[in-house]
Amino acid sequence: MRLRAARDDERGATLLLVIGFIVIVALMSSAVLGLLLTGTKSRVALDQARNREYSADGAVEHAIADVRANMQTHPFTPCPSAHIPYAKGALPNGQVDMQVDCTYDPWHTLSGFLQRNVVFVACAQQGGPQCGPGIISARVNFQSDDSAVATSITVSKTFIQTWSVNE
């Protein structure tokens, strides 16, 4: 009877080991799959950030073109407005509506030549307020050989003086 009891105690021991093995393997597999899923989710977030960045980039390009056109007839007030709105449909990747804050910042060289500079800051639309640091800030020079007091000018070329991606 004692022998039988001992055998009964050992019965199923291998099964327990197998169940333990299965549990360990399942935990390892789920950890590995979790790692993979996390990587995929991070990638999606990074792609969205990149697309938003290039949307802001496109908004600044639009603003430069708009200011260039406006400056030819309004050389002293080249910004069409302080916060220029751009719908996401007009921008690359169509991520989010953007606004570009526009500030005319002219200054003269030592020889007295007028530098027609404009500062742009692009961010997601704020509904009125300024952008703050924004996604992209840029300082652009609009080259013109016309007189500083001319009321109508021709912009021959634009130069990017600074271009910063802030986030």
Q: Is 165 in the site for another protein (CB under 8 A)?
A: no
Dihedral angle of Cα 123, 128, 129, 133, to the nearest 10 degrees: 10
Bridge partners of 101? 83, 121
State the Cα–Cα distance between residues 84 and 97, nearest whole angstrom. Answer: 11
Q: Is 14 in the site for another protein (CB under 8 A)?
A: yes
52: Cβ contacts below 8 Å, ≥ 6 apart: 93, 95, 96, 124, 135
Q: Is 48 in the site for another protein (CB under 8 A)?
A: no
With CB under 8 A as the contact rule, the residue among 87, 159, 164, 167 that binds another protein is 159
| Ramachandran class of 161: left when φ > 0, alpha when ψ lies in -120 to 50, beta otherwise | alpha
Least Cα distance to 138 among 70, 80, 72, 58 occurs for: 58
Q: Is 2 in the site for another protein (CB under 8 A)?
A: no
Which amino acid, residue 50?
A: R
In angstroms, what is the minimal distance from the CB of 112 to another protein?
Answer: 25
Structure tokens at 20: 């333990």
With CB under 8 A as the contact rule, the residue among 32, 82, 87, 150 that binds another protein is 32
In angstroms, what is the minimal distance from the CB of 75 to another protein?
Answer: 16
In angstroms, what is the minimal distance from the CB of 127 to another protein?
Answer: 24
With CB under 8 A as the contact rule, the residue among 52, 66, 131, 136 that binds another protein is 66
For binding to another protein (CB under 8 A), which residues are involved? Answer: 4, 7, 11, 14-15, 17-18, 21-22, 25, 28-29, 32-33, 35-36, 39-40, 43, 46-47, 50-51, 54, 57-58, 61-62, 64-66, 68-69, 91-94, 155-159
